[in-house]
């Protein structure tokens, strides 16, 4: 069989890495990395089609590994490897953008499924199409207002007019683009690029590609994301994040239909329909000097504005029913909100729009056993954010996944006390320290490593807790 595609295996245990390599080497070119930094370097140097990523690496651990990698290369499909069978971790990994979650110990037992899934994801990525099985991104409400918006967008696609989609964060701009692609132009490649996720220093190389020898690490020619949209649809999400230097290159693409790879003098033709999206008022961005007026004129041959969820109960109800059905099916549950929760859902302001609604419905279904109200969930989310802030200053982020049940239990117990939020967060931290200590049989050095604290910091916190208990 002729090999076409390249898979990067990111795993610090050489035996596991060799086992996976043995399964794949007959059909794919294989690259290997033993750390996160090495993996980023490999992706930058080579034309990789899929990544198998260990969740815990020497220089990056837990959910942060997945989040950082997907932010670095948003379109590259990622399969996550882990030694633990933890549904909370699995759900969060998928939520962050990974396409699959595989247990290391089950690699051989599930090798046929793994090979099938790899083949599907690589074909999808290589063809620049989206996964049409993911109905989450393809739902579109049936109301007169939305149908008018939809008709205008359809006309733009059919007439090859560049389309600009405006709307608040979370209103479904990317959802609409994927819906249009599936319904109107399924045979065309779709390349989705979120300009808010690619560091400015990497944008030229990621978007326009690299010529071999352009810099020390450029050991081979690399096709940019824009070039992969040739004869298809290019979706630039959050285009307002594009710096002025990139805006100039995008203008050249639109006006002349050509690009140049970094370090290359050769112009390459790229013909594509451009769809752009922004949550900012681009005319105000022009006035402030952050966005080019000539580029704005080019990208909005047709413009549509997606409305927010608030004050539109018909649209809100349709999305509520859709997400309830989806998450009940995923969980094997039959949860339906009671009258109190349903009223709360309708009255909530939904500043995060569809994205916030989806998250709240998911939590209502997943954690139904805790009998949480909407207000409860909003507070729990705030607690999670506070814990993650703490994680960034020392503790590893995965502790709030490991102890999610504990957080829920303590939260419900808090309702019967007069604890302030700060006192509650302190209590959760205390539980985390004791939990890690128990897991490590009382070894403080190992317990500190488990949650990412320095041993001295861990000991200091434990002394403070003991002092407060006996003081």
45-101 confidence digits (pLDDT tens): 677 889 999 988 998 888 888 888 887 677 789 999 887 777 778 888 888 888 888
Question: 395-424 pLDDT, tens per residue?
Answer: 444 444 444 555 555 555 555 555 555 666
Question: Which one of 60, 91, 126 terminates a domain?
Answer: 126
CA dist 268 and 259 (Å) reads 5
- Whether 286 and 170 map to the same domain: the answer is yes
- Whether 32 and 54 map to the same domain: the answer is yes
Question: Which one of 76, 109, 126 terminates a domain?
Answer: 126
Q: Residue range 253-272: average pLDDT?
A: 92
Q: Are strands 60-61 and 78-82 parallel, antiparallel or unpaired?
A: unpaired
CA dist 21 and 52 (Å) reads 10
- Whether 88 and 175 map to the same domain: the answer is no
- Whether 214 and 295 map to the same domain: the answer is yes
Q: Which domain holds residue 29?
A: 6-126
- Whether 116 and 172 map to the same domain: the answer is no
Question: In the prediction, which pLDDT does 209 show?
Answer: 86
- Whether 64 and 178 map to the same domain: the answer is no
Main-chain dihedrals φ then ψ at residue 305, nearest 5 degrees: -125, 120
Question: In the prediction, which pLDDT does 466 show?
Answer: 81
Token output for 177:
């683009």
Nearest partner of 78 among 57, 56, 103, 97, judged by Cα: 97
Question: Which one of 95, 126, 157 terminates a domain?
Answer: 126
- Whether 323 and 247 map to the same domain: the answer is no
Q: Residue range 352-372: average pLDDT?
A: 80
Q: Is residue 253 part of a domain?
A: yes
Question: 105-159 pLDDT, tens per residue?
Answer: 767 667 888 888 898 888 777 654 333 334 444 566 767 788 788 889 999 999 9
Which domain CATH number covers 221?
Answer: 3.40.50.300
For CA atoms 359, 317, 168, 183, the dihedral sign is positive
pTM above 0.85, yes or no: no
- Whether 280 and 147 map to the same domain: the answer is yes
- Whether 289 and 321 map to the same domain: the answer is no
Q: Residue range 443-455: average pLDDT?
A: 78
Break the chain down into helix, strand, coil percent, rounded to 5: 55, 15, 35
Q: Is residue 402 part of a domain?
A: yes
Q: How many residues does the chain have?
A: 471
Q: Is residue 1 part of a domain?
A: no
- Whether 272 and 206 map to the same domain: the answer is yes
Is residue 288 predicted with pLDDT exceeding 80?
Answer: yes
- Whether 191 and 294 map to the same domain: the answer is yes
- Whether 298 and 328 map to the same domain: the answer is no
Domain total in the chain: 4
Which domain CATH number covers 102?
Answer: 3.40.50.2300
């Amino acid at each position: 069989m002729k090999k076409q595609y390249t898979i990067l295996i990111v795993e610090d245990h050489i035996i596991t890495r060799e086992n996976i390599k043995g399964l794949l080497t007959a059909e794919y070119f294989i690259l290997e990395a033993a750390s996160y930094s090495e993996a980023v370097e490999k992706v930058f140097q080579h034309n990789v089609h899929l990544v198998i990523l260990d969740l815990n690496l020497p220089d990056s651990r837990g959910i942060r590994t997945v989040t950082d990698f997907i932010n670095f290369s948003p379109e590259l499909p990622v399969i996550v490897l882990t030694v633990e069978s933890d549904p909370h971790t699995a759900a969060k990994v998928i939520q962050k953008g990974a396409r699959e979650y595989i247990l290391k110990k089950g690699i051989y037992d599930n090798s046929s499924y793994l090979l099938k899934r790899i083949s599907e994801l690589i074909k999808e990525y290589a063809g620049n199409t989206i996964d049409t099985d993911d109905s989450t991104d393809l739902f579109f409400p049936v109301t007169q207002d939305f149908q008018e918006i939809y008709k205008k967008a359809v006309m733009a696609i059919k007439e090859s007019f560049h389309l600009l989609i405006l709307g608040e964060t979370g209103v479904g701009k990317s959802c609409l683009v994927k819906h249009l692609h599936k319904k109107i132009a399924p045979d065309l490649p779709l390349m989705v690029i979120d300009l808010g996720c690619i560091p400015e220093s990497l944008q030229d190389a990621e978007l326009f590609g690299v010529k071999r020898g352009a810099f020390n690490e450029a050991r081979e020619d690399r096709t940019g994301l824009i070039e992969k949209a040739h004869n298809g649809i290019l979706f630039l999400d959050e285009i307002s994040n594009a710096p002025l230097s990139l805006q100039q290159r995008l203008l050249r693409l639109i006006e002349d239909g050509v690009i140049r790879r970094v370090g290359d003098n050769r112009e390459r033709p790229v013909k594509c329909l451009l769809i752009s999206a922004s949550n900012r008022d681009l005319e105000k961005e022009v006035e402030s000097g952050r966005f080019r007026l000539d580029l704005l004129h080019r990208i909005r041959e047709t413009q549509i504005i997606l409305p927010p969820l608030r004050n539109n109960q018909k649209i809100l109800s349709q999305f509520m029913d859709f997400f309830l059905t989806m998450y009940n099916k995923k969980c094997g549950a039959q949860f339906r909100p009671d009258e109190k929760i349903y009223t709360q859902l309708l009255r909530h302001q939904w500043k995060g729009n569809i994205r916030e609604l989806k998250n709240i419905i998911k939590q209502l279904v997943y954690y139904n056993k805790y009998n949480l109200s909407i207000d409860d969930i909003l507070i729990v989310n705030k607690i999670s954010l506070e814990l993650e802030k703490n994680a960034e200053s020392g503790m590893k982020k995965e502790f709030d996944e490991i102890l999610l049940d504990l957080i829920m239990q303590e939260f419900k117990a808090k309702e019967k006390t007069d604890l302030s939020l700060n006192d509650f967060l302190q209590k959760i931290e205390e539980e985390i320290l004791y939990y890690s200590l128990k897991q490590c049989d009382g070894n403080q050095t190992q317990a500190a490593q488990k949650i990412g604290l320095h041993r001295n910091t861990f000991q200091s916190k434990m002394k403070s807790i003991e002092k407060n208990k006996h003081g």
